[in-house]
Amino acid sequence: MSKTPLIAAVKGMNDILPASVPRTDKLPDSALWHWFESVVRRVLARYGYQYILTPVVEPTALFVRGLGEVTDIVEKEMYSFTDSMNGDRLTLRPEATAGIVRAMVEHNALYNGPLRLWTLGPMFRHERPQKGRYRQFHQLDVEALGFPGPDVDAELILMARALWRELGLVEGEHVRLEINSLGQPAERQAHREALVRHFEAHADVLDEDARRRLYSNPLRILDTKNPAMQAVVEAAPRLMDFLGDESRAHFDAVRAVLDAAGLACRVNPRLVRGMDYYNLTVFEWVTDQLGAQGTVCGGGRYDGLIGQMGGKPAPAVGFGLGIERLLLLIQALGLPVPGAAPDAYAVAPSAAALPRVMPVLEQLRAAGVAVVQHAGGGGMKAQFKKADASGARFALIFGDDELARGEVTVKALRGGGEQLARPLADLPAWAGTLKSTD
């Protein structure tokens, strides 16, 4: 009899599994993801950001218009297809900002004033999978819409720092901030013309990508990783030299807030980001711990995108954070991460006792205690082995003698604590002692 062939996941699209499931790769387990998401919700709530969800599939035109036709994402990386029902061109979202802006315009969401928003979910790019870079990856995306001032630019950067601190990362050591200003369209146009003249004079050094971008998007040439082009790129005209007084004042105001908050940053004149919609402030948080994939968070201001999407023009600023890459960084640094172990593991040597035991466990769970009930039978020794392997801090022993007395024995499994008898009738009084303090 022939064996049914295995159907594996699509290359570059990974399962996120519990830590108890053995796997050969080093991808973060689901408990680490869950902890990260809880930290995100806690930190963003402190800053007044609201949660939003948008579709995974959007019209292809949304990303062509929003990201720019000559960006790598649109040219090479999008998963696009034709809807077999109506012939529409659709795309799995490669990033979140365009979809959020589309939703705000479609629902006239800024009618009552500015909004602070965030979302979290899968994005898709057709590129060569490598460590920290996958075809289905996940992003935290944060957007502040309708705020024109440098104060919100600085707020987003400081909020990212607050997130690092909650996760155990140290700015300046584990991650560092790089910042730049792209100015306004007229300033970029003057800089663009100077760039074209500069690169035309060094056309023999340009690689194929650079020659293709020379007249369509020369700013992206500055982001090249080609070692043979580094000298000519370093010698290129700098956008900062083309900024007018207002753009410089905006940039200086952002830096003044960061300085006052004690956050060091490096001005990187080659920092341009990968989408066409950015203006004024752009920034990245980078690390040296992940090899070539050094950016863990990046964003900036995009004041023209809402009008470009058909809405009433309004300023906006935001950032995106690659979750896989960040969790790999946390793993690489060996930072302490709260586990997913339950508070308690229930041991019941007799199946006949379950009608009395299970309602007690429901009461404990209602009181906020995480309790795993042993299932599948087995003697006391086997059940205690399972209890210890679960990582629980306590075993709850519902033996015949305990139940006859209306009690449960609470046995500490970690730290050598004592064993206590607890009355079931007085459960609310002692349930809280089982809960983890993490």
**Is 94 within a domain?**
yes
**Last residue of a domain, which of 333, 368, 400?**
333
The whole-number pLDDT of residue 426 equals: 92
Q: What CATH number did the domain enclosing 409 receive?
A: 3.40.50.800
How do strand 419-423 and strand 50-51 relate by DSSP bridges? unpaired
pLDDT at residue 213, as a whole number: 84
Domain-embedded: residue 10: no
Tell me which residue range forms the domain holding 425: 344-434
Q: Residues of the chain whose pLDDT is less than 70?
A: 1, 68-72, 75, 132, 274-276, 292-293, 417, 437-438
Q: Is residue 120 part of a domain?
A: yes
- 235-272 per-position pLDDT tens digit: 999 888 899 999 999 999 999 999 999 999 999 887 87
The CATH number that applies at residue 264 is 3.30.930.10
Going by C-alpha positions, the residue among 159, 146, 151 that lies closest to residue 250 is 151
Q: Do both 168 and 270 map to the same domain?
A: yes
Are residues 327 and 396 located together in one domain of the fold?
Answer: no
Whether 287 and 256 map to the same domain: the answer is yes
- 42 shares its domain with 162: yes
pLDDT given for residue 26 in this prediction:
77
| Domain-located, residue 22 | no
Does 398 lie in the same domain as 324?
Answer: no
Q: Is 26 exposed, middle or buried (0-12, 13-18, 19+ CB in 10 A)?
A: exposed
Question: How many domains, in total, are found in the chain?
Answer: 2
Distance CA 56, CA 183 (A): 32
Q: Are residues 264 and 329 in the same domain?
A: yes
Task: Say yes or no: 415 and 309 in one domain.
Answer: no
Domain boundary among 333, 367, 384: 333
Per-residue model confidence (pLDDT) at position 1: 60
Q: Are residues 366 and 321 in the same domain?
A: no
pTM, two decimal places: 0.85
* Predicted local confidence at residue 380, as pLDDT: 81
Residues 91 and 120 in one domain: yes
In a domain, residue 161? The reply is: yes
Residue 195 lies in a domain: no
Q: Assess if residue 202 is contained within a domain.
A: no
